[in-house]
Amino acid sequence: MSIMDAQQSQEPANAAGQGGESAQGRYVEPGKAFDRDMRYFATRITADGRDGYPVEAGRYRLIVLHACPWANRAIIVRRLLGLEDAISMGIAGPTHDARSWTFDLDPAGRDPVLGIERLQEAYFRRVPDYPRGITVPAIVDTRDGAVVTNDFQRMTLDLSTEWTAFHREGAPDLYPQAQRAEIDDLNRWLLHHVNNGVYKAGFAGSQEAYEEAYADLWKSLDILEDRLSRSRYLMGPSITEADVRLFPTLVRFDPVYAGHFKCARKPIAAMPNLGGYLRDLFQTPGFGDTVDLQHIKEHYYAVHRDINPTGIVPVGPDMTSLLEAHDRDRFETATWGAGTAPEPPLRAEVVDPAHTPLHVTGR
């Protein structure tokens, strides 16, 4: 495939409009509604290697940051499927310089596998002077250091369906064949009305655009509140890809989206079904133990200077309520389907204990 299968323009895009969390550009266009750019490197890593990138253990590196909800999905799926030994993971810091996400969490400020200071370098190895936002999650080929894909929607599905040879024993089926059409429909709806809905409100450039986005977001959250009054998870008794896509938005809602993106009506924690569902998933291995609440706040409040010009990062809120009891076990439950819970995270990937209410020990 060509190196820019999905590229249609050489003009720099609004950073916030990129598919994942981006490190460049403006976030709010005065007078306009927020419009997310959904163009990516469409190249896929597949079992048959039809795009030139075959599934191969140890060849690829997943680049994420804990702050990003889109990257959080990839972290969760990699962990649930037990792909840690097959796909290494690099973690960028929660903020960035003028050019790109930086590996300031690593010694000497360089990713220890790719040897780069900024994710931008991997994009430029694929397309010199890549003109669009530098987004995460991204999967990089360690052979040439170039980005293979930043298609955050396809990425997690391929981890489930193309990487089966390297799934751990007992890995759950997050994308069961019989439910795929319904999961796809639900995921499209979640993207436009909830996952991206908070951004439509937060990056609205007019009062009218903001109020329209706010109303649609809360109408959608009310629909989810009702849906979760009938089953433990979105698709029934077992966790699926749909839950992986909703959780990162919900866990960021009260500490960030409610205030920073002006999405507040009531806390998610106060909603009987959504709040219980959030607590349930947060306490489930592979979900809450991937969440770095401090990095989340640092990213949104420090980076989005057009809506938080001081860059002040709030101290609160107290998120220990995520550990409170829930009543989700009142429903029929087969959390992992025919599979089992994942192992604890790798020691090097354990979230800083000061950044989470969970106590997690790595392996």
Domain boundary among 166, 185, 219: 166
Identify whether residues 186 and 144 lie together within a single domain: no
For the question of residue 68 being annotated catalytic, the response is: yes
Tell whether 8 is covered by a domain.
Answer: no
Q: Is residue 117's pLDDT more than 70? A: yes
Domain containing residue 105: 15-166
Percentage of the chain modeled with pLDDT above 90? 86
Largest CA distance in the chain: 54
Please report the pLDDT score of residue 20 as a whole number.
55
Look at the chain and report how many structural domains it folds into. 2
Please report the pLDDT score of residue 312 as a whole number.
96
DSSP letter at 289?
G
* Arithmetic mean of pLDDT, 16-37: 66
Q: Residue 259 is part of a domain; what is its CATH number?
A: 1.20.1050.10
Identify whether residues 183 and 326 lie together within a single domain: yes
Domain boundary among 166, 192, 225: 166
Please report the pLDDT score of residue 15 as a whole number.
37
Identify whether residues 244 and 329 lie together within a single domain: yes
Mention every residue, 6+ apart, whose C-beta is less than 8 A from residue 188.
Answer: none
Identify whether residues 211 and 328 lie together within a single domain: yes
* Active-site hit among 27, 60, 68, 301: 68
Identify whether residues 154 and 290 lie together within a single domain: no
101 belongs to an annotated ligand binding site: yes
Tell whether 287 is covered by a domain.
Answer: yes
For the question of residue 263 being annotated catalytic, the response is: no
Q: What's this model's pTM, rounded to 2 decimal places?
A: 0.93
Confidence of residue 170 (pLDDT cuts 50, 70, 90): very high
Confidence of residue 320 (pLDDT cuts 50, 70, 90): very high
Q: Residue 55 is part of a domain; what is its CATH number?
A: 3.40.30.10
Q: Is residue 112's pLDDT more than 50? A: yes
DSSP letter at 210?
H
Please report the pLDDT score of residue 18 as a whole number.
43
Please report the pLDDT score of residue 11 as a whole number.
29
Q: Is residue 237's pLDDT more than 80? A: yes
* Active-site hit among 27, 130, 175, 199: 199
* Full DSSP string of 111-157: -TTT--SBTHHHHHHHSTT--S--EESEEEETTTTEEEE--HHHHHH
* Arithmetic mean of pLDDT, 32-56: 92
Confidence of residue 2 (pLDDT cuts 50, 70, 90): very low
Per residue in 321-363, pLDDT tens?
Answer: 999 999 999 999 999 999 999 999 999 999 999 999 999 999 9
Confidence of residue 97 (pLDDT cuts 50, 70, 90): confident
CA 285/CA 219 separation, integer angstroms: 30
Per residue in 54-83, pLDDT tens?
Answer: 999 999 999 999 999 999 999 999 999 999
Identify whether residues 123 and 241 lie together within a single domain: no
Please report the pLDDT score of residue 10 as a whole number.
26
Tell whether 108 is covered by a domain.
Answer: yes
Tell me if 136 sits within 8 A of 64, measured CB to CB: yes
Confidence of residue 22 (pLDDT cuts 50, 70, 90): low
Identify whether residues 192 and 156 lie together within a single domain: no
Identify whether residues 224 and 324 lie together within a single domain: yes
Domain boundary among 133, 166, 199: 166
* Arithmetic mean of pLDDT, 105-120: 96
Q: Is residue 3's pLDDT more than 60? A: no
Tell me if 268 sits within 8 A of 250, measured CB to CB: yes
* Arithmetic mean of pLDDT, 278-289: 98
Tell whether 210 is covered by a domain.
Answer: yes
Tell whether 245 is covered by a domain.
Answer: yes
